[in-house]
Amino acid sequence: MSCRSHILRAASLWAGVAALLAVTAGCASGPPKLKEGLWEIRGQRMENPGNKRSDFTYKLCRDHAFDRASDAALRDVKGCSTALKKQGDGKFSSASTCRAAGMTIVSTATSSFKGNESIHADSHAAYTPAFDGKTDETLTEDQQYIGKCPAAMKPGDRLNPDGILWRHDR
């Protein structure tokens, strides 16, 4: 993989993630701290052109330190600027623009929190020029607290439906 391709893949990933997760960071009277433990994340991604749909589900072990570190990493992405806004009633929005390797990614997101145990989020990212043929994508996620993390999982670890455990620290 070329250096340019690696940079563009990283920027694409960060732009989508930043738009979606930035709403959990940085607002003075921001979202509640999410409950520590095991969360189930279900989502759907739609990529264009072609309305290519993919569904996903995984479990994530999280704690406050992991969430703070994730928020900090998103705020510090070079070439990106993000505006956050509290909408009221547990709703937050963000808008991000990222520039990397000759590409601009414009992302928007909204998140709705139901206390500290449930989140619904929608995001959209547009790529100029197209990235690997992709002009834009939409992501919808529902996150739900489901209990304590299993002993084998540490904060940041992800468990896929096939049983494969992705270690955050590796």
Tens-place pLDDT, residues 62-105 = 999 988 888 777 777 788 888 888 888 889 998 989 998 899 99
Report the pLDDT value the prediction gives residue 30, as an integer from 0 to 100: 66
- Cβ-contact 30, 92 below 8 angstroms: yes
Residue ranges of the domains in the chain? 3-166
Report the pLDDT value the prediction gives residue 47, as an integer from 0 to 100: 95
Residue whose entry in the numeric block shows the structure tokens 């547009």: 126
Does residue 38 have a pLDDT over 50? yes
Q: Per the structure block, which two tokens stand in for 74?
A: 């998103």
Enter the pTM of the model: 0.80
